[in-house]
A and B are shown apart, each in its own frame.
Chain A
Amino acid sequence: MQNSSPNSLTDKQAEELVRSNIGWMLAIAERLLGERALAEDAVQEAFISAFQGFEKFENRSTLKTWLHRITINAALMKLRKLKSLAEQPIDEYLPEFDKSECRLEAEWTHLASTDNIVANEESQARVHTAINTLPKDYRIVLLLRDIEGYSTGEVAQYLKLSESNVKVRLHRARAALKKLIEPLLRDEVF
């Protein structure tokens, strides 16, 4: 399949391409857009772009990496159409400091292990909900950097932001996520 040109893709090959990649593409788009219906639209647009641009795919990256980028671009384009990437308030989830600039952080007597949280379906769902609770502008940066594994520079390019702005948003998103999943991290019952 990877050596085929677009025109040589038979209907069967095209269907195979769609069926073998649509699952993970939908998962990414849904994470970014926060809604299944929007994700389906984005994935449809991504496949159309992929079919149209298949000629340019020269095996310099893997097919999955190539489709990954196309999916992210399609999802971001949809996101931009919905609303501009203007900042939204995230303040209530951010770390607090006293007048002496010392951190106000309740003492940690226990920190739950990653394995325990990830192994538990309900906890995992709580993590997903917490990520979706983040304001969109922050959620996108966290997803692209921490989950999809893009560099700060790449995220800056995708979102047309400066690298320092990406870092600020990333830090706030992580700090807010920490606050949101703190009961899990402390092994408390929600």
Chain B
Amino acid sequence: MKPQNNILRKLKGFMLRTMPNMITCREFEGFVVDYLDNELPEKQRSKFELHIRMCKECRQYLDAYQRTIEISRRACSSSDDAVPDDVPDDLVKAILKARKY
């Protein structure tokens, strides 16, 4: 990392830690699930949204995080659509046999 970037990061960290209504990137992490579930109390929500506006890394992180959720949902639901027809016949027979006992 360039020394200039390092100084900027330190400044950013200092600002996030000390200015009112700010949260650090680490604190942001703890709010993500509730934010996406619309369960963050108003005060925390505005801090979270202010952080998104101010921090490019967290903004991009959140986009990629949400995209990950979307992809995992779609990837798994499309694999459900493609449920194989080749269900083992011996398994079906074993289940039906077990039913009789």
Contact = CB atoms under 8 A, between A and B. Distances in A.
Interface in B57-101: 57-58, 60-61, 63-65, 67-80, 83-85, 87-88, 91-92, 94-96, 98-99
Given A24-B80, A114-B70, A118-B71, A100 B64 contact: no
A101 B60 contact: no
Contacts of A143: 76
Contacts of B76: 31, 128, 131, 143, 147
Contacts of B85: 23
Given A44-B91, A48-B95, A51-B99, A101 B72 contact: no
A14 interface: yes
B59 to A, nearest CB: 9
A95 B25 CA distance: 10
Interface in A75-124: 95, 97-105, 107-108, 111-112, 114, 117-118, 124
Which range contains the number of A residues in contact with the other chain?
35 or more
Nearest to A124: B75
Contacts of B77: 147
A101 B13 contact: yes
A108 B60 contact: yes
Contacts of B99: 14, 47-48, 51
Given A22-B87, A43-B91, A111-B63, 19 more contacts: A18-B92, A18-B96, A22-B92, A24-B80, A27-B83, A43-B95, A98-B13, A101-B26, A102-B24, A105-B60, A105-B61, A108-B64, A111-B60, A111-B67, A124-B75, A147-B72, A152-B37, A177-B68, A178-B64
Interface of B: 9-10, 12-14, 16-17, 24-29, 32-34, 37, 55-58, 60-61, 63-65, 67-80, 83-85, 87-88, 91-92, 94-96, 98-99
State the 8 A-B residue pairs at the shortest beta-carbon distance, nearest first.
A100-B13, A23-B83, A101-B24, A103-B25, A178-B68, A108-B60, A127-B75, A103-B57
Interface of A: 11, 14-15, 18-19, 22-24, 26-27, 31, 40, 43-44, 47-48, 51, 95, 97-105, 107-108, 111-112, 114, 117-118, 124, 127-128, 131, 142-143, 146-147, 152, 167, 170-171, 174-175, 177-178, 181-182, 184-185
